[in-house]
């Protein structure tokens, strides 16, 4: 459960009225609930308690320094996929030995930087990457811990094609049939190849997808150990689901965690340690986007509602076909959680679109919503993951502010960009 609810028809983030946030910080604006972030970490820890994994938050899902600092204070490590994300995690005060470095295309500069900082482990995606890691480790005079990311050819039927990463046709990982050879003792002089990593995509709604992957990991571990290699860590990646205001037919997180831990018990009994890399299951429902209606016009066969936020602000609907629940920040007299508003209704369908010069710039098409007018504030829910982290300056539109609500306290954690920010990094190459 998150902490966004209506009181007498007005949306509140924890104890703060959403309209007051817009009046103070402008629109569009991303709003995060500190209480929700903390409670979601606690829920994950409870769900996976029997396996006691190291929880490494996926920085790519929500990279704001204040969010990372709050999660680190709640006991999370970090999962990073670039040198920039590593820099962010360190800047947020996360200890390097609580950071796992993943990513399919690590440059040599990024590898050297992470080796120098002393990250907990690399998730290596290829034989060629492991050769680079070995070179960097030897040059630094360090012994570097590595988990081999395997591609187990396991995919979840409910995961969008663009975020499904466990099937054999994706770019990720080492084919399972080639993985055991990378653990042969002495193959890499500077590496301690001691982990198996798998990430199947996101979101994963069917627990059986994880269970199938664990079965293949068990087989690989047995093969590695028969060949004299060693595996002390199993990293299951992330992909645990969040709720986007509609019935998705997936398992609840606590039930999913319980089943996964039961399946991991034979590995745990043999002394293996575990890592998980959740992102959206912690941050998605901890954030909302508040955006303002610019125009409402009549199209050929339905209303068109134009917002001041578009695909540059929230890319998921255009890129993935994601369906976020949305509702006016002030409507009627409802008191209670926003999800209670998600049932069928008789409102007129409207296209919810942005200002970007692309036909694909929309948040929803034909969505039944209460009547709105210019100046109304619309709340787009479950935007805490892959919202601001994927925002851009396309069409030379400045990125929004971000704020954190903690009880009745509101803090700006990223200022709204100005026009000057749009050109701040450019140089005059013609003079």
Domain spans of the chain, in order of start: 4-31+286-423, 52-281
Indicate if 62 belongs to the active site: no
Half-sphere exposure of 88 (CA within 13 A, CB side): 22
pLDDT digit string, tens, across residues 39-54: 999 999 999 999 999 9
What tokens appear for 211 in the block? Answer: 């269970």
CATH assignment of 52-281, given 3.20.20.10, 3.30.70.1450, 3.40.718.10, 3.40.50.880? Answer: 3.20.20.10
State the binding site for pyridoxal 5'-phosphate. Answer: 239, 277-280, 386
CATH 2.40.37.10 fits 4-31+286-423, yes or no: yes
Task: State yes or no: cis peptide before 203, omega within 30 of 0.
Answer: yes
Report the candidate in 48, 60, 99, 47 with the shortest Cα–Cα distance to residue 78: 99
| β-bridge partners, 358 | none
What tokens appear for 403 in the block? Answer: 């704020």
What are the C-alpha distances in Å from 283 to residues 85, 100, 288, 389, 393? 16, 19, 10, 12, 23
The answer to whether the beta carbons of residues 311 and 358 sit under 8 Å apart is yes
Residue 377: how many CB atoms within 10 A of its CB?
22
Greatest Cα-to-Cα distance within the chain, rounded to the nearest angstrom: 70
pLDDT digit string, tens, across residues 323-365: 999 999 999 888 988 887 755 567 889 999 999 999 999 999 9
Report the candidate in 94, 92, 98, 138 with the shortest Cα–Cα distance to residue 115: 138
Residue 8: how many CB atoms within 10 A of its CB?
10
Give me the catalytic one of 56, 261, 357, 383: 357
State the binding site. Answer: 239, 277-280, 316, 320, 358, 386
What 8-state DSSP symbol labels residue 165?
A: -
The answer to whether the beta carbons of residues 202 and 280 sit under 8 Å apart is yes
The answer to whether the beta carbons of residues 392 and 306 sit under 8 Å apart is no
pLDDT value at residue 341 = 78
Three-state DSSP class for 204? coil
pLDDT value at residue 167 = 57
pLDDT value at residue 212 = 92
pLDDT value at residue 171 = 78
pLDDT value at residue 126 = 95
Give the distance, in angstroms, between the CA of residue 424 and the centroid of all CA atoms in the same chain. Answer: 28
- Give the phi and the psi of residue 195 in degrees, each rounded to 5: -135, 155
What tokens appear for 232 in the block? Answer: 């002390």
The answer to whether the beta carbons of residues 123 and 197 sit under 8 Å apart is yes
What tokens appear for 74 in the block? Answer: 């709640």
The answer to whether the beta carbons of residues 317 and 335 sit under 8 Å apart is no
What are the C-alpha distances in Å from 157 to residues 153, 212, 283, 316? 12, 13, 23, 19
Residue with tokens 């994994």: 53
Counting as low any pLDDT under 70, the low residues of the chain are 155-169, 245-251, 342-345, 431
Query: Sign of the CA dihedral 316, 318, 321, 324?
Result: positive
State the binding site for substrate. Answer: 280, 316, 320, 358, 386
Report the candidate in 406, 386, 338 with the shortest Cα–Cα distance to residue 37: 406
What are the C-alpha distances in Å from 285 to residues 111, 340, 349, 381, 393? 33, 15, 25, 7, 24
């Amino acid at each position: 459960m998150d902490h966004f609810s209506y009181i007498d028809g007005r949306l509140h983030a924890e104890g703060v009225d959403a309209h007051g946030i817009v009046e103070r910080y402008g629109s569009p604006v991303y709003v995060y609930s500190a209480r929700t972030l903390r409670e979601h970490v606690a829920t994950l820890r409870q769900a996976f308690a029997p396996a006691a994994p190291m929880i490494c938050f996926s920085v790519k899902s929500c990279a704001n320094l204040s969010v990372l600092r709050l999660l680190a204070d709640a006991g999370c490590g970090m999962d990073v996929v670039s040198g920039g994300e590593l820099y962010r995690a360190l800047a947020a005060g996360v200890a390097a030995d609580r950071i796992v470095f993943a990513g399919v295309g690590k440059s040599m500069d990024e590898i050297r930087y992470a080796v120098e900082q002393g990250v907990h482990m690399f998730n290596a995606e290829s034989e060629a990457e492991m050769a680079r890691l070995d070179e960097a480790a030897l040059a630094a005079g360090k012994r570097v811990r590595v988990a081999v990311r395997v591609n187990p050819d396991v995919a979840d039927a409910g995961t969008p094609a663009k975020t499904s990463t466990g099937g054999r046709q994706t770019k990720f990982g080492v084919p399972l049939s080639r993985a055991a050879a990378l653990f042969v003792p002495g193959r890499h002089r500077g590496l301690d190849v001691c982990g198996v990593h798998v990430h199947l995509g996101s979101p994963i709604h069917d627990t059986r997808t994880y269970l199938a992957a664990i079965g293949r990991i068990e087989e690989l571990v047995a093969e590695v150990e028969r060949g004299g290699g060693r595996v002390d860590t199993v990293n299951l990646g992330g992909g645990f689901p969040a709720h986007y205001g509609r019935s998705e037919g997936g398992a609840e997180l606590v039930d999913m965690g319980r089943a996964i831990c039961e399946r991991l018990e034979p590995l745990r009994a043999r002394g293996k340690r575990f890592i998980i890399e959740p992102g959206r299951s912690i941050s998605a429902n901890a954030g909302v986007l508040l955006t303002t209606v610019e125009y409402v016009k009549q199209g050929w066969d339905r209303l068109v509602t134009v917002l001041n936020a578009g695909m540059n602000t929230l890319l998921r609907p255009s890129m993935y076909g994601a369906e976020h629940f949305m509702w006016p920040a002030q409507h009627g007299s409802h008191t209670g959680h926003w999800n209670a508003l998600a049932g069928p209704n008789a409102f007129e369908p409207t296209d919810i679109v942005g200002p970007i010069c692309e036909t694909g710039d929309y948040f929803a098409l034909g969505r039944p919503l209460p009547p709105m007018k210019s100046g109304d504030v619309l709340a787009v829910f479950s935007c805490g993951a892959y919202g601001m982290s994927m925002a851009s300056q396309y069409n030379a539109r400045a990125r929004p502010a971000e704020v954190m609500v903690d009880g009745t306290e509101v803090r700006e954690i990223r200022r709204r960009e100005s026009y000057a920010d749009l050109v701040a990094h450019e140089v005059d190459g013609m003079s």
